[in-house]
Amino acid sequence: MIDTAEDFSQCIFSDETTIQVGPSVKHCFVKGDDYFARLRPRAKHPVKLNLWGGISMRGATELAIFPGAMRLDSKKYCEILERCYVPFARKIFNGFGILVQDNAPAHRSAYTAGRLKTMNVRLLDWPPESPDLNPIELVWGSMKAFVRKKIHEPWSN
């Protein structure tokens, strides 16, 4: 249990989010005189990206980006931690960082618990259904706005 604000200096707050790359509207307008000629259909299911990231008082982890259609299971989650979290914790915290994650099924599975133990990852118990306590939630809104501003058209196959 964390008792003082100073203890949070060892915490690395992590989470996932989804960013919709294309617009969510079903139609868009293009320049022209004829109203119906200007109305163009859009993709029914716009492209989405899933992101995983971690932030701390000492910096941020590498951002993991994976397809929006991909479900994050325990195996994929552990691969992300091994690739993004563990190197960051070792480099910045000399391996003594504390991972803060929500209670998503991929985070709490027996498989994940075993892999976290193997990777020597220390965890902070997090209250259920309290994402508002995780400061990374504040980052996602800004990041989504930035991505929407930079990417104007969805990718095509």
Evaluate whether residue 50 is within a structural domain: yes
Are 65 and 145 a contacting pair, CB within 8 Å? no
> Which range of residues forms the domain containing residue 53?
5-150
Chain centroid to CA 123:
18
Evaluate whether residue 86 is within a structural domain: yes
Binned at pLDDT 50, 70 and 90, residue 33 comes out as low
CATH code of residue 93 = 3.30.420.10
Evaluate whether residue 155 is within a structural domain: no
Please write the tens of the pLDDT for every residue from 70-125: 889 999 999 999 999 999 999 999 988 999 999 899 999 999 999 999 999 999 98
Please give the tally of structural domains in the chain: 1
Q: How far apart are CA 127 and CA 2, in angstroms?
A: 12
Evaluate whether residue 11 is within a structural domain: yes
Residue among 132, 47, 121, 123 nearest 84 (CA): 121
Per-residue pLDDT, 37: 54
pTM over 0.85? The answer is no
Per-residue pLDDT, 84: 97
Q: Largest alpha-carbon pair distance within the chain?
A: 66
Per-residue pLDDT, 31: 59
Please write the tens of the pLDDT for every residue from 36-56: 555 555 666 777 889 999 999
Evaluate whether residue 108 is within a structural domain: yes
Evaluate whether residue 157 is within a structural domain: no
The H-assigned helical ranges of 34-85 are 35-38, 74-80
The Cβ of residue 84 has, within 10 Å, a number of other Cβ atoms equal to: 19
Evaluate whether residue 45 is within a structural domain: yes
Q: Tokens 């091994």, residue? A: 82
The upper half-sphere exposure of residue 32, i.e. CA atoms within 13 Å in the direction of its Cβ, equals: 10
Evaluate whether residue 55 is within a structural domain: yes
